A and B are shown apart, each in its own frame.
Chain A
Amino acid sequence: MSATTESTGRRVLAALRRDPLAVGGTIVLALLVVVGVAGPWLAPAGVNDVDVDQMLRPPSGAHPFGTDELGRDVLSRVLVAARVSLQVGAVSVGIALVAGVTLGLLAGYYRGWLDSVLMRCMDVLFAFPVLLLAVAIVAVLGPGLLTAMVAIGVVYTPIFARITRAGVLSVREQVFVRAAVSIGASDLRIMRRHVLPNIAAPLIVQTSLSLAFAILSEAALSFLGLGIQPPAPAWGRMLFDGRGFVTDAWWLGVFPGAAIFLTVLAFNLVGDALRDVLDPRQLTLGEARRSTP
């Protein structure tokens, strides 16, 4: 993977740099990752440092995001909760991506009864409203971080399976796939080398969108009390706890809400930009010249 991958990587970076929205999204994501890793050390106070004298204080120098009904520092809780949100997003989308792409590849490449069985199962999953299905899975497995991640992963699997299958169906009829068959390439090799790279663009976009939706879903599950269990901080749970104080303590809802909003927006911006630059057919003339001496 030496020279080719490097040059592709450089090309993607160069193209991303020209798109101001993508730059913004990338910076926000980078900050989020830093916060996700270092949150507990960045936080000015402990997440569960209760101080009843400081209950429901508006944003101030001591508490930039104010304090909640138990006097806990909202900034600290928002910072620490970033890790959980990112973790849920990455793990659940990882589950959905691996499972969905595998099932979609098998269904689209081999067609026949396998296709029918797999895709009908996906249709059944797809027919449920996202949250209802997630709630049902959590209800069976019991609430908690791990089950929330599994539930969200299962919920988003059919989307990946469908996108993959649709792509495989069109790519497998291409002459270059027939050419690969003619030179005796194995099915696995054809899928890995010829089919997957050609359907990577929609998958990458879907991944970034799904990361955003997964974080929202986790927030919703936590909001319903089915995700992260208190007192551990989670953005969705903080929104839930803040809803009773909307009129007299707006900061309880606004800051975790803004964190969710920024994260989702950043993933979407980066996903859009990636879609545009990852397709080599969309190389600009200048880039094409540079890469062919």
Chain B
Amino acid sequence: MREPRWLPWARWVGLGLLTLFTVTPLYVMATTAIKPLQDVQGDFNWIPTRISLAPFADMWSTVPLAKYFGNSLVVSSVAALISVTVAVFAAYAISRFRFPGRRVFSITVLSTQMFPGILFLLPLFMIYVNLGTAIGVELYASRLGLIITYLTFSLPFSIWMLVGYFDSIPTALDEAAQVDGSGPIGALLRVVIPAAIPGIVAVAIYAFMTAWGEVLFASVMTDENSRTLAVGLQGYATENDVYWNQIMAASLVVSVPVVAGFLLLQRYLVQGLTAGAVK
């Protein structure tokens, strides 16, 4: 592609502004986390005058952060894992089979993206309580309940993206496998899934992030033992003081694993989107 002469300039200005917009909050998060509380409460300073690592030490005791972290990790990973598995099967059915109800199913699943969370928060909560009592498994205020909730949050987008991805894998490949004696499931496991790894990883990242960041359901459907970071972080605004530096330190710590994981795997996300959904 021929580039006009002004383009490099426009590129640096445009990208520079975008970088500034993106990075400033991150910079403030990082620098506030190492300021003593007094310096945080006064006028803002770009450069910390005094550096204190105390927020990183105190944040574990102001709020049982480690426990919430563990909960978030368990809930998000398991939700992502199950969500991906369920989505792979459903997407395979939609992509490779023509069956009555296929369209209705796809549209219904996608349309759940429109549901305002508020509408089904209370009913869902009632269902969990009653179902939990009926089958003897605690769903309300348990990590299991959260896992089930979150995995369905990411399902519609995941199925949709994987259908696109599977569609892009030539059916000749799995037909060849079926001629070799594998059933449709065998073809899925042996041909389609290996060919769709980028899409699957992308969906897993998406599912994990959805669960890691959810606030509304977490604030009603958890108790102290199942509380996740999304709710736990509110604990730094106590009756006593708002520990901004600890909030930032904790935000930093809870963000690093997701962001690092995301950045490591983002090329899969791009590939997944490229081959699948974005056609």
Same complex origin of A and B = no
Which residues of chain B have a CB within 8 Å of any CB of chain A?
none
Q: Spell out A's residues near B (CB within 8 Å).
A: none
